[in-house]
Chain A
Amino acid sequence: MTTTSTTTAMIATGPLGTAPAPREPGSPILEAEGLAAAHKPRSPMRDADGLVVGHKPGSPILDASGLAVGRAGAPVLAGIALAIAPGERIALVGANGSGKTTLLRALAGLDRLLAGTIRWEGAALPTGADRVRTVGVLFQGEVGSRFTVRELVGLGLGLDGPASAAAQRQVDAAIAWAQLAALADRSCAALSGGELQRALLARAVVAGPRAVVLDEPTNHLDPAGRAMVHALLDRLRGRVAVIVATHELELAATCDRIALLHGGRLAALGTPGEVLTPAQLAAALGVQIRRLDDPDGGPPLFRVIAARTASQEAA
């Protein structure tokens, strides 16, 4: 993280005051991986490594304010304000039913908002094939389809025409990124859970999006599968903004910021050090959690001590 500072991504109080900047046709965020070869950027902002991190210094890639989602009268989410800087990694943490998935769906443009605005780079989420160049998605519970890995990843390009050679290279690069080159022509139905998850991640990033929205990407995975997903996310660091809903506090601890959701509201928003405290976690998750710092300097571990009892809840 060379240019992204969390101070540029404070909670926004309203829509951006500035006029929306003209959108580039595509974002070579993953240029170094060869993932965005098909896009021709006009004036991208680059960090010290030459990686594209956005097109306007300091402007949030995503700016959501006053969000309310759900049924009128009984919103699942209310009063959510969130701004995310280019290349930032932010975790959504909260109990089941706290609104993580609902927030991700709203950010990906799937649900109608009861109130509030969501601006992606100062504009509404584009429709059609441009959408995948703004935000890639990985939802929960996708089953293995009969597409091959290559076909599945190719669908992430949002193409509406014949696949060009450049598009093919982009697909191959994304498959190589996900370490699935040997399985590229295998049916997704024949993949293990971890392999399928990596294929879906490749589909999320293949178009070179500014951001990816991931709903519990390590759910149901074995330790090796989790480690591989973590490694893939690390390779996106600073290049693609990652918004990840997770129950895995160890993954959340590696993020730049954490949004703690409780009962459809933002209970806390800040760095892992600020949010992943026993008091905050106990309030939002209903468990006593002890934080164990890794003496080798790795991310901290979290250990559940006890579920809070009903009397504690009442108190």
Chain B
Amino acid sequence: MTTAQRASAAPARDPGRAGVDHGEPQPHAMAPPHRGAARDPAAARRVRPRTVILGFAVACAVVGVIAICVGSTGWRSPWAWDAMVGELRAPRVLLGGLVGAALALAGVAMQAVLHNDLADPYVLGISGGASVGAVASLALCPGIAPGPAAAAGAAGAAVVVRALARGPHDPTRLLLAGVAVGSILGSATGLILVLAPDSNLLRSSTSWLFGGMGTPRWSALTAPAAVIAVAAAWLARQAQRIDRLALGSDVAAALGVAVPRLRRRVLAVAVVLTAFAVAAAGLVGFVGLIAPHAARRLVGQPHRALIPLAGLLGALLVMAADAVARTAFAPREVPVGLVTASLGGPMFLWQLQRGAR
């Protein structure tokens, strides 16, 4: 958009508020009265980012404890640490938090590399690759958990998409290659489901495709926890460089960022995080989209605050959604991905409506 277009578009964005007094001093005469002052997202961002992050860390812990207390067999008080709580609920809730954090961080990373707020961890054909991997694994070796095959499928699809869109970095080409590869892999998934002789495959695949943590053992948590901790720390260290990516490749390079290398690494981290989330919990939709989006509304664009807050929001969202999934239709359980999508969709629409007003 050119400056002229922007200048003409800006008043239209906020017709009724021209010249609103926003209570700030205007020390120099040349500053014109400000359009959109009261609606400025930055103005709403008065709370310090550190306070917001701390607040959500506490909220995350509280939700985690509550999620451990509730379940299909009823409420257990937090201090009654029995086998049910210690061996079944606690690892599952923690894994949910890890999966949510991984998806949210992957979403932030994907959005930064693709310059697109609508990118989620599963673009670049990752959901299609994960589905093919999982369904093939369930069809060929039903006894084995489909997680590793799904992760391999996800990473493989991402590598193929990246290779197809090689050349000068172009987010649109990457996204379109992702859509095409994802659609091919999606039809392959359907083909396996339809042609497979095992009639149980459809049912077992469906519950995996909608996501769910299952009943993990404590030992299943170590690898994802380590990977997510390392990835989060690395992303946080790169926060200021990732910020500069948002200014465009040329400006970022002129500001001293090794742009192609940074973009490659951020993308690789996003794919690894998504692969681990997929391996642990299948396809849990919407978390990687809504958590970064909500975090951005709270602390703005700088990734120094955005990365930790998005991770916390993702963890909180999946832990809460999983608690709902376990209790809403107890004793039956619904896939957690259905809950995140059915809660996340309306939340996202509400945010969009607020943003449009």
A interface residues, Cβ below 8 angstroms from B: 105, 108-110, 127-132, 135, 137, 139, 141-148, 151-152, 155-156, 158-160, 179, 181-183, 185-187, 190, 192-193, 195-197, 219-221, 224, 228
Contacts and interface: CB of A to CB of B under 8 A. Distances in A.
B24 A159 contact: no
A186 B254 contact: no
A196 B34 CA distance: 13
B246 A151 contact: no
Main secondary structure on chain B at its contact with chain A? loop
A76 to B, nearest CB: 16
Contact of A147 (B2, B24, B40, B300): B300
B37 A186 contact: yes
Nearest to A139: B250
B333 interface: no
Contact of B4 (A139, A182, A193): A193
B329 to A, nearest CB: 40
B28 interface: yes
Contacts of B251: 137, 139, 142
Nearest to B35: A190
B51 interface: no
Interface in B289-306: 296, 300-302
A155 B243 contact: yes
B42 A135 contact: no
B219 to A, nearest CB: 37
A182 B26 contact: yes
Contacts of B34: 183, 186, 190
Contacts of B241: 160
Nearest to B39: A190
A210 to B, nearest CB: 14
A131 B25 contact: no
Nearest to A105: B250
Contacts of B42: 148, 185-187, 190
B258 interface: yes
Interface residues of B, number: 41
5 contacts: A128-B258, A185-B43, A187-B40, A192-B7, A220-B3
Nearest to A147: B301
A139 B2 CA distance: 12
B256 A142 contact: no
Contacts of B254: 108-110, 131-132, 135, 137, 139
A134 B30 CA distance: 31
A129 B40 contact: no
B142 interface: no
Given A156-B255, A187-B41, A193 B7 contact: yes
Contact of B6 (A135, A144, A146): A144
Given A131-B256, A183-B31, A220 B247 contact: no
Contacts of A182: 24-28, 31
B253 interface: yes
Contacts of A155: 240, 243-244, 247, 255
Nearest to A185: B42
Interface string B2-20: 1110110010000000000
Interface in B66-81: none
Interface string B318-337: 00000000000000000000
Contacts of B2: 141, 220
Nearest to B302: A151
Interface in B255-304: 255-256, 258, 296, 300-302
Contacts of B10: 190, 192
Contacts of A137: 250-251, 254-255
A135 B2 CA distance: 25
Contacts of B171: none
A39 B41 CA distance: 34
A182 B23 CA distance: 11
A157 to B, nearest CB: 9
Given A146-B301, A155-B247, A110 B253 contact: yes
